Structure formats: C-alpha cells, structure tokens
C-alpha cells in the first residue's frame, strides 16, 4: 500500500529534496515517454512492446506506458495488481515466470488474464488443469487461453553479461527437449500454444550483441514450428536493451537496430510483413531506467584508521541490495554532488567510503575518488535509477521507512507517495 503525500511543485532533485526531504526517488514521466519513442524508432514498424513491471511497478510510471499502447509482462500477482491499477487491460497482460502455482494462475484467470508464458511441462499441465476447473465454474472465464512457450536455447550468445538462455537455467524449456518430445507441448481444452517466448539475456551493451541474440532466437523458430506442427501467431523475442544503470550516461538510441532486425526477420520469418506472426519485444530497464534519480543526504563525514567515510541516509536498502541481480558485493553507483556550501568544489583525489545507515558493513556504495570534499548536509544524486531501484533493494531490512517516490513531468503537478509495509491476518488455505 502507499501513503499519500500532498501535491507540491517539485521538478528537480534539489527542489524535491527541499520539499520532501531525503532519501527520495524522483521519476520524470516525460523521460519515460521519450524512452518509449526511442525504442519504437529502434524496432521494426508494427512491433509490439511489453513493459516488464519488474523494472518499476510504480502506477504512474507504468501508467504512462499503458497510455502509449504498451502491453504488460508480469511475474506475480502483486505485479498483476499493479498493472491493472496502472491502466493495462487484462487482455493485454502476459503472465510469465517460473514456478507459477495453481493459486497464482487461478487468480490471474479470475482477473481476466488469458495470456501466459509457459516454462515447463509441469507449468503447462498446471495451467491446463486450472483453466479446466475455471471453465466448469459458471462465473469462470471461457475465453481461449493463449500460451507462449518459453524456450531455452542450446547455446549462449557471446557478449551477454547475464544470460537468461543457452545455459543451464531455471528459465524455459530446453530447445532439444521440445524437439525430442513435442507431444508434451500441445493444445488442451481452452489452452492453445500460439507462440514462442525467446528471452535470451538482459542489459545487452551493443547493437551487435542485441542482433546476435535475436538471430539466435529466430533461427530456432522454423524447427520448433515443424516439431509442434503449427504456425505461430506471435514471436516474443525478449529484449535486453541496455542503458546506463546507476551511473551517469545517456540512454542509447540503437540507430541501426531496426534495419538489422528487419533483415533477420526477412531471413528467418519471411511472412512477418504479410500477416504472419506478430513480433513482440519486452523492455523494462530501457523504458524507465533513465527516468529516475535517487537523492540522498550526507549525514556525517568521519575518519577511521586513516580512511574517510561519508555516512548517507540511503544505502543498499534503497539501491543495489538485491543479490539476485548480482548486487552483492555492492553496486558501485556513479554519485554526483548536487549541492554543498560552496567549499571544496574540486575533486580531492582521495577515496571516500560511501556508506548507508544499516547495521552491516555490506551497506556501502563503493569508494570513489572523484568527488569533492563532502560535508554533512550535502545532497548527492545517483542518476539512471528509474529501473531496478527501490523494488530491487533490501527494503525490508531494519524496517527503515521506504524513500518517498516523487513523480513529475507531463505538464502535471508533482505527486509523491511512500510504500508502506503492513501485516494483515491470513486465513488458512
């Protein structure tokens, strides 16, 4: 749940900090719209874009993308709720992720979701069973249920930092398994396999690497269509569109990606231009990453055994604490000083340990040497933190209040809210 905060005119990190205090996240909705326009320009005309809510489920951030015509990709009932609140229609939501339970699938079906990414034989069987039960209920949905079969390629694509396919992984069905036992992946009742989900990697740095993964994904499609005895209605090629994360830098434009992708599609799926399969992509990081800034204050600067420490009111519980994203050992964000007292404007050349308030020595953001001398009260900013910021951190550790999330842009008043964790009674299942 969120705690509402009155509206104020706060459009810069400095003004937001004055208005709401620190730590805070500032999201610029105009930048979200610009990012979407850049991605549309980089992809083949008519491509469908799914927004991955795992990057940032804030309802106003996600709401901009819903309004721009994106579909949504969710991996939990919480993300599903966020997508619906943000304005995505249930019919435009794809429910993905490994280890989906019958309860989750049932809740998604009850909410009107009819598109799922399936990651195993068990996953498909569970969906079929729950869909059958729902179909027996007079109040249950009777619409066809579309399934994208998620495929794990035989080999990784070179240049990937965090491979999601081509290696031993919990994600998807091995390509060879589908070829060996295609009968395990057939339509059943209302459940129809209508396409493929081919997510290969994340945060890929160059057009060359992106095109390499799309080439590898598309090369599997013809053989899979033959094995499964069907023409696919959709090919979800994943994403992995890289952009700077928690460091200064500009969002890339990928000027040659559209032409390269169209050439690959013409080669592997020549019917895509003439009513063949819809071609879709997923993005979270690229769409919202550059829209966010984390603002924090220096509480104290102290010395210990010859080393300098700047103690901040933010740390790994607000940014970079998620081990699942390989952020432990800690992320090394590119910190900028926003304001000071006019002293010591030049970098000192001396390292300063940027540490947070948590009771663990792991609560640190590295030891940069390019900052000016810091003093209590200085404002610091970490740019490009609109994706995998607050909700990819140790938000529950030590029970600190979550940072305020301030939203601006779009010719609208600034709004602010704070995520609040509460306990509620739970009945036995």
Catalytic positions, written as ranges: 359
The alpha-helical segments, DSSP class H, found in 24-171 are 29-42, 59-67, 77-86, 102-110, 121-136
List of E strands, 137-242 = 145-152, 162-163, 173-174, 191-197, 201-202, 234-236
| Backbone φ, ψ for residue 164 (5° rounding) | -110, -5
With 0-12 / 13-18 / 19 or more C-beta atoms within 10 angstroms meaning exposed / middle / buried, residue 407 is buried
**Parallel/antiparallel/unpaired status of strands 115-118 and 93-95:** parallel
Nearest C-alpha neighbor of 166 from the set 200, 140, 192: 200
Q: Which tokens hold the place of 29?
A: 């909705």
Q: Which tokens hold the place of 287?
A: 């769409």
Spatial contact of 111 and 143, defined as CB atoms under 8 Å apart: no
Q: Which tokens hold the place of 63?
A: 């709401």
| Backbone φ, ψ for residue 119 (5° rounding) | -115, 0
Reduce the DSSP state of residue 370 to 3 states and report it: coil
**Parallel/antiparallel/unpaired status of strands 162-163 and 201-202:** antiparallel
Separation CA 271–CA 40 (nearest Å): 21
Separation CA 241–CA 213 (nearest Å): 11
CA atoms within 13 A on the CB side of 309: 16
Return the residue matching tokens 């799309």: 214
Residues 136-150 as b or e (16 or more Cβ within 10 Å = b): eeeeebeeebbbbbb
| Backbone φ, ψ for residue 380 (5° rounding) | -120, 150
DSSP structural state of residue 421: -
Separation CA 168–CA 240 (nearest Å): 19
β-bridge mates for residue 4, sequence order: 417
């Amino acid at each position: 749940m969120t705690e509402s905060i009155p509206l104020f005119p706060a459009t810069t990190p400095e003004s937001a900090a004055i208005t709401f205090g620190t730590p805070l996240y500032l999201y610029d909705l105009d930048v979200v719209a610009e990012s979407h326009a850049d991605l549309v320009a980089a992809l083949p005309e008519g491509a469908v874009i799914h927004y991955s809510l795992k990057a940032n489920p804030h309802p106003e951030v996600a709401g901009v993308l819903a309004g721009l015509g994106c579909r949504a990709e969710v991996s939990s009932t919480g993300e599903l709720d966020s997508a619906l609140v943000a304005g995505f229609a249930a019919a435009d939501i794809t429910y993905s992720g490994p280890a989906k339970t019958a309860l989750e699938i049932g809740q998604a079906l009850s909410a009107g979701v009819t598109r799922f990414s399936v990651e195993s034989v068990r996953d498909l069987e569970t969906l079929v069973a729950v869909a059958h039960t729902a179909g027996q209920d007079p109040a249950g949905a009777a619409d066809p249920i579309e399934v994208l079969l998620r495929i794990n390629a035989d080999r990784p694509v070179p240049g990937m930092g965090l491979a999601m396919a081509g290696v031993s992984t919990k994600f998807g069905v091995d390509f060879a398994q589908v070829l060996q036992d295609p009968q395990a992946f057939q339509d059943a009742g209302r459940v129809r396999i209508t396409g493929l989900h081919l997510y290969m990697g994340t945060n890929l740095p160059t057009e060359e690497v992106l095109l390499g993964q799309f080439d590898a994904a598309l090369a599997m499609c013809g053989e899979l269509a033959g094995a499964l005895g069907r023409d696919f209605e959709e090919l979800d090629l994943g994403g992995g569109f890289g952009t700077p994360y928690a460091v200064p830098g500009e969002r890339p434009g990928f000027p040659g990606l559209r032409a390269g992708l169209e050439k690959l599609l013409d080669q592997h799926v020549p019917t895509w231009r003439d009513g063949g399969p819809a071609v879709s992509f997923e993005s979270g990081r690229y769409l919202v990453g550059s829209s966010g800034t984390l603002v924090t204050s220096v509480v104290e600067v102290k010395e210990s055994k010859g080393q300098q420490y700047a103690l901040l009111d933010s740390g790994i519980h607000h940014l970079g604490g998620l081990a699942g994203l390989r952020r432990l050992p800690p992320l090394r964000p590119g910190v900028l000083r926003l304001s000071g007292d006019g002293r010591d404007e030049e970098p000192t050349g001396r390292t300063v340990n940027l540490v947070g308030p948590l009771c663990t020595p792991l609560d640190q953001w590295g030891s940069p040497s390019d900052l000016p001398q810091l003093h209590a009260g200085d404002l610091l900013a970490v740019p490009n933190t609109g994706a995998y910021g607050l909700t990819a951190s140790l938000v529950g550790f030590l029970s600190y209040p979550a940072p305020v999330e301030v939203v601006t842009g779009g010719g609208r008043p600034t709004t602010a809210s704070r995520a609040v964790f509460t306990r509620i009674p739970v009945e036995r299942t």
